[in-house]
Amino acid sequence: MKVYTHDDFLSVYASDPAASPGRIEAILNAVRGEVEIGQALPATREDILAVHTKYHVEGVEREGVYEIAALAAGAAVQTALRGLEEPSFGIIRPPGHHASADYHWGFCYFNNMAIAMEHLRSNGHIKTAHILDFDLHYGDGTVNILGSKGYVSIHNPDESDRKHYLSEVAEKLDSLQVDIIGVSAGFDNHIEDWGHVLYTEDYQEMGRMVHSTSKKLGIGCFGLLEGGYNHSVLGRNVLAFLRGLQGL
């Protein structure tokens, strides 16, 4: 399985929990030896401006985080392209699903998933897509950018009971007829993280669901890191999801 990341994601670029020291290291330590690491490359300005306004991009530049945000967006594009061939994952930060076309919040700057999906669509790789966003927090930025475009369905599960949560995800995936599935993979709904709902095995199960649906439809799938802030469990949660995404 190919995973895209970069040493620059280890840097502490801000004071928020997504940028805290040791977070990316916890994931890399857990998955090393089970994945093939690919070097992330920055997104082109063209890809970023296909999703965000010039005003927004200039604001991110003024905040001094353009380079790291563009690197995360570029890795997302690489991950999505690889996902057309085999399951893939982006171990990236800053996260992206709270970044809208012209504003951002929630530790996000550019919307990595939206940039990746728009790149696939505009280059003729897909006509339709589905996004499963299992982060604790609603992916308002992704909905803002892609929700009205017509080619993407977006699912933010909203259940406080883990069995109902998994059933909701399964029901939605079973109804799909799309060209690719992207997962905004936030792990902050874990029982030992902020949300206190899901268990490690639940992330593996959701990965298996996505894998099974992709295999049934003969399509690709990929995931991008969003939230997840308890470093002591984050690595094993990501690893569980990656194993599931491969059908394990």
Contacts of 14 (CB under 8 A, 6+ apart): 65, 94, 107
Reduced 3-state DSSP string for 92-105: CCCCCCCCCCCCCC
* pLDDT < 50 stretches in the chain: none
Would you identify the CATH topology of the domain 2-245? Arginase; Chain A (3.40.800)
Known catalytic residue: 98?
yes
Q: What does the domain layout of the chain look like in residue ranges?
A: 2-245
**In the chain, count of helices (H) and strands (E)?**
9, 7
**pLDDT confidence of residue 106:** 97
Check residue 41 and give its pLDDT.
98
Q: What is residue 13's predicted lDDT score, i.e. its pLDDT?
A: 98
Residue 197: predicted pLDDT = 98
Closest-CA residue to 173 (of 139, 141, 202, 216): 216
Which entry of 6, 56, 98, 211 is annotated as an active-site residue? 98
Tens digit of pLDDT for each residue in 140-194?
A: 999 999 999 999 999 999 999 999 999 999 999 999 999 999 999 999 999 999 9
